[in-house]
Amino acid sequence: MRVVVQRVSEASVTVAGEVVGEIGHGLLLLVGITHEDGEKDVEFVSDKIAHLRIFEDGEGKMNHSVLETGGQILSVSQFTLYGDCRKGRRPNFMAAARPEQAEPLYELFNAKLREKGLQVETGRFGAMMDVRLVNDGPVTLIVESQA
């Protein structure tokens, strides 16, 4: 499992002209799932992200998590995170999990974040989406479940 984590002051996702998810202060998550991923990967990554200390304290140090700051989550499925660009000019997406495997794990991932007390908005799985964000910092990290 691979998640691009962006600290944002606001973010939204639109499908066919309709805003389907929108947050203020918090994290935009671009979520990729591969064939080997399972519930343990979902648990590890959701816990890591919920407690990741990337929000500033009173001294300007990254010392607080999204949980501690009352931030929100915008989670967007992103199979292209497993695009392999090493050969040729067209990415190879064979490492991305098929939708029938990825969608339940993506939904479980969002449920695990909600269980931790986070407000989670989402895009629409498998849809063409327009994602807008204001990256705060900018702070962008990659969290992975496997080495």
Please check whether residue 25 is in contact with residue 92, taking contact to mean a CB–CB distance below 8 angstroms. no
Nearest to 52 by CA among 19, 116, 5: 5
The span from the CA of 4 to the CA of 1, in Å, is 10
Catalogue the active-site residues. Answer: 78-80
The span from the CA of 16 to the CA of 133, in Å, is 18
DSSP state of 105: H
Query: Beta strands 26-32 and 72-77: pairing type?
Result: parallel
The span from the CA of 137 to the CA of 6, in Å, is 9
